[in-house]
Amino acid sequence: LGYGFCHIPSTPGCHSLTCVTWRPRGTWRERLSRRFLGGGPQLLTPEATTTGGADRFRLQTETAGTVYLELGVILRHFGRYGVEW
């Protein structure tokens, strides 16, 4: 498990997105526990990584993989495409 960020296209159509993910590194005990039991350290406030950068420099991270997305974007005529409100 990890965290990632990518921009959603604002143009209609099918889009292929690549989202690189990361996770908090944690202590050596937390890494050992994650290896054998799963899980791992989590951010208490994930929003802080996108809003302010004051404390972000202290966060030690490691890569967690890449997520590939196929995203269909429609902007209007939702009923025509079977989207219900």
Strand partners, 38: none
| Rounded Cα–Cα distance for residues 2 and 64 (Å) | 6
**Is the model's pLDDT at 6 over the cut of 80?**
yes
> Does the residue 1 lie in any domain?
no
> Does the residue 70 lie in any domain?
yes
| Rounded Cα–Cα distance for residues 13 and 20 (Å) | 22
> Does the residue 85 lie in any domain?
no
> Does the residue 58 lie in any domain?
yes
Instruction: Read off the pLDDT of each residue in 43-50 and give the average, rounded to a whole number.
Output: 64
Question: What one-letter code names the amino acid at 75?
Answer: L
Q: Which domain holds residue 75?
A: 13-80
> Does the residue 37 lie in any domain?
yes
> Does the residue 33 lie in any domain?
yes
Number of domains into which the chain is organized: 1
Q: What is the DSSP letter of 30?
A: H
Residues in Cβ contact with 63 at an 8 Å cutoff, skipping those fewer than 6 apart: 20, 21, 22
> Does the residue 2 lie in any domain?
no
> Does the residue 71 lie in any domain?
yes
pLDDT digits (tens, 9 = 90+) for 53-74: 565 566 778 888 999 999 998 8
Does residue 49 sit in helix, strand or coil? helix
**Is the model's pLDDT at 75 over the cut of 70?**
yes
Spell out the alpha helix ranges (H) of the chain: 28-37, 48-51
pLDDT digits (tens, 9 = 90+) for 15-46: 999 999 888 877 777 776 767 776 676 666 66
